[in-house]
Structure 1
Amino acid sequence: MEIPTTGETLDNVVCFWQPEKAIKAGDTLAFNYRLYWSAQPPVQSPLARVMATRTGMGGFPEGWAPGEHYPDKWARRFAIDFVGGDLKAAAPKGIEPVITLSSGEAKQIEILYVEPFDGYRIQFDWYPTSDSTAPVDMRMFLRCQGEAISETWLYQYFPPAPDKRRYVDDRIMR
Structure 2
Amino acid sequence: MQNGNLKVIVDDQEFEFTPAQIEAIRGQDPEAVLLENVLYRGQTQKVSDRTYKTEADGLTYTVKIRNRWDEILDKLDMRKSGSQKQTQLKAPMPGLVLKISVQEGQEVSENESALILEAMKMENILKISQACVIKKIRVKEGEAVEKGQVLLELE
Report the TM-score range of the alignment, normalised by the length of the smaller protein. Answer: under 0.3
Scaled by the length of structure 2, what TM-score is found?
Answer: 0.27
Greater fraction of residues in strand: 2
